[in-house]
């Protein structure tokens, strides 16, 4: 007998009764299992008679083992019969376990959330699509952004030529400096042959301006006040003295803007090909921004049209995933994650907690999208999934070699999920 009670947050309490006549069948297998793990003088391990096993471990141990075996078997049948999609680990509790009586146990489980979608959700999304934002970037704006990008590329490939003159804005220079406060050198405030580009704004305001005009070997002493928002709070807003000596002045020689420059970048034959590629990239980037903005509006619209109770377990898992991704991004920028936490004055747990609202929204969207996929019978074929898997694998080299190093089952699930998401979006954006 099975009794199911619905609980909040997509949980269910399932009470199962196993008739004694059924439970009793597991006593002999339980005794044999126990016999394999005990040693009794005069008997080979695993060959101990049932009566001797019972005398050595007691009826209670056999009763518990047989109950657990009966529960495992019956629980498999319950999951299959009730089509339960359990997430996380169930909490089991034996309610009644007496010889000669029915075995009764309770399982508290978390299941995938049920979703109640409004019958008019498609109409609502359709109306939202009718008002969606469209790309408005002009050719002039594209041209201006393209020029900025080309200039950035030229700056990144500038040659440094040593010159015998005073330093000017835009030069790359090397300076020796010492920072003191009240006549006392600051810790970490001394450097030799420190390189900086004048006008780049990498030092505190006023420093680079004070260095402009110095020739090699010349010295200057000046006072500056650290900004109020300076990262070292013990220096923020305080005045310090800077003793600076110029050691090297180098002029930045920019490459000519011609076909040779385009070829030097590796994949362009002409300057016009480079300009076209950059312009196309700018338009594509703007299109993606508009597309993403419209998608956010669609998601918000669908969330308003659906009712579902999200398990805390899924939200916690998503928060952890978001924290992990964020940590990876910070580390890829060259900053140790612990240093970042110190800078923003947060613990790992506080940062993780800050993802809660976004994490819950993301989980709700995923659950609702899954329901839309079921309702619309979106189910990519095995051939389509295999093709997507091959596309992913080919990015990392020879497919056959990569297959030996990767969990193909996980890749199959991820590839299928990716295709389902894409096809759901195709459906939503066409409404």
Residue-wise DSSP of 113-171: PPEEE-TTHHHHHHHHHHT-------HHHHHHHHHHHHHHHHHHTPEEEE-SS---TT-
State the DSSP string of 402-427. Answer: HHTTS-HHHHHHHHHHHHHHHHHHHH
H-type alpha helices, 202-270: 207-211, 259-264
Distance spanning both ends of the chain, measured CA to CA: 46
Contact status, residue 223 vs residue 241, Cβ threshold 8 Å? yes
| pLDDT at res. 71 | 92
Using CA atoms, how far residue 428 sits from 27, 104, 296, 418, in Å, is 57, 48, 12, 15
E strand or H helix at 184, and its extent? Answer: strand 184-197
| Residues of the chain by 3-state class (helix, strand, coil), percent to 5 | 50, 20, 30
Residue count of the chain, please give it: 431
Cα 119 to the chain's mean position, in Å? 33
| pLDDT at res. 56 | 65
Q: Identify any residues that bridge with 213 across adjacent strands, giving them in sequence order.
A: none
Work out the angle between the directed axes of helices 27-35 and 59-82 (0-180°, nearest 10): 120
| pLDDT at res. 201 | 87
Residues 6+ apart with CB under 8 A from 209: none
Contact status, residue 254 vs residue 170, Cβ threshold 8 Å? no
Q: Identify any residues that bridge with 248 across adjacent strands, giving them in sequence order.
A: 174
Its pTM stands at 0.67
Using CA atoms, how far residue 330 sits from 88, 169, 333, 339, 344, in Å, is 30, 32, 5, 10, 12
SS3 assignment, position 380: coil
Pairing assessment for the beta strands 239-253 and 219-225 based on DSSP bridges: antiparallel
What does the pLDDT profile of the chain (431 residues) look like in tens digits? 899 999 988 899 999 999 999 888 988 888 778 777 666 665 666 666 666 666 666 778 888 889 999 999 999 999 999 888 888 889 999 999 998 899 999 999 999 898 998 889 999 889 888 888 888 889 999 999 999 999 999 988 889 999 999 999 999 999 999 999 988 999 889 999 999 999 988 889 999 999 999 999 999 999 999 998 887 888 889 999 999 999 999 998 999 999 999 999 888 899 999 999 999 999 999 999 999 999 999 999 999 999 998 999 899 999 999 999 999 998 888 888 888 888 888 899 999 999 999 999 999 999 999 999 999 999 999 999 999 988 888 777 665 666 666 778 888 888 998 999 999 999 999 88
SS3 assignment, position 7: strand
What domains, with CATH codes, occur in the chain? 2-111 (3.30.70.1050), 158-253 (3.10.50.40), 291-430 (1.10.3120.10)
H-type alpha helices, 250-310: 259-264, 271-304
Mind spelling out the 3-state secondary structure of 10-41? CEEEEEEEECHHHHHHHHHHHHHHHHCCCCCC
């Amino acid at each position: 007998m099975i009794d199911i009670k619905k609980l909040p947050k997509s949980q269910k309490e399932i009470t199962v009764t196993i008739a004694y006549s059924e439970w009793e069948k597991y006593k002999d297998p339980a005794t044999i299992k126990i016999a394999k793990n005990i040693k009794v003088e005069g008997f080979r391990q695993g060959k101990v008679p049932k009566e001797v096993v019972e005398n050595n471990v007691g009826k209670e141990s056999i009763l518990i083992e047989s109950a657990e075996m009966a529960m495992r078997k019956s629980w498999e049948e319950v999951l299959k019969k009730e089509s339960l999609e359990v997430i996380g680990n169930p909490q089991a509790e034996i309610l009644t376990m007496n010889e000669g009586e029915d075995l009764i146990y309770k399982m508290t489980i978390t299941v995938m959330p049920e979703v109640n979608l409004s019958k008019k959700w498609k109409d609502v999304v359709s109306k939202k699509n009718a008002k969606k934002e469209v790309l408005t970037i002009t050719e002039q704006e594209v041209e201006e952004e393209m020029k900025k990008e080309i200039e950035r590329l030229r700056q990144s490939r500038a040659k440094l030529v040593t010159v015998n003159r005073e330093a000017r804005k835009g030069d790359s220079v090397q300076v020796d400096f010492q920072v003191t406060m009240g006549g006392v050198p600051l810790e970490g405030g001394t450097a030799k042959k420190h390189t900086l580009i004048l006008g780049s704004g990498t030092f505190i305001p006023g420093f680079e301006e004070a260095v402009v005009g110095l020739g090699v070997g010349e010295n200057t002493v000046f006072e500056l006040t650290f900004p109020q928002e300076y990262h070292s709070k013990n220096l923020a807003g305080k005045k310090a003295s800077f003793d600076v000596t110029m050691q090297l002045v180098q002029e930045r020689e920019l490459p000519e803007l011609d076909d040779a420059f385009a070829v030097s970048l590796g994949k362009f034959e002409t300057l016009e090909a480079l300009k076209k590629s950059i312009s196309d990239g700018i338009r594509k980037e703007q299109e993606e921004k508009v597309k993403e903005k419209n998608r956010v509006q669609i998601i918000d619209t669908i969330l308003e049209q659906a009712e579902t109770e999200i398990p805390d377990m899924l939200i916690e898992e998503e928060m952890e995933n978001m924290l992990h991704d964020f940590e990876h991004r910070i580390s890829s920028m060259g900053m140790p994650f612990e240093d970042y936490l110190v800078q923003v004055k947060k613990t790992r747990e506080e940062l993780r907690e800050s993802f809660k609202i976004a994490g819950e929204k993301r989980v709700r969207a995923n659950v609702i999208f899954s329901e839309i996929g079921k309702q619309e019978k979106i189910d990519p074929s095995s051939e389509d999934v295999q093709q997507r898997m091959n596309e992913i694998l080919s990015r990392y080299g020879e497919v056959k070699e990569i297959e030996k190093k990767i969990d193909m089952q996980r890749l199959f699930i991820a590839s299928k999920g990716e295709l389902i998401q894409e096809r759901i979006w195709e459906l939503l954006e066409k409404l």
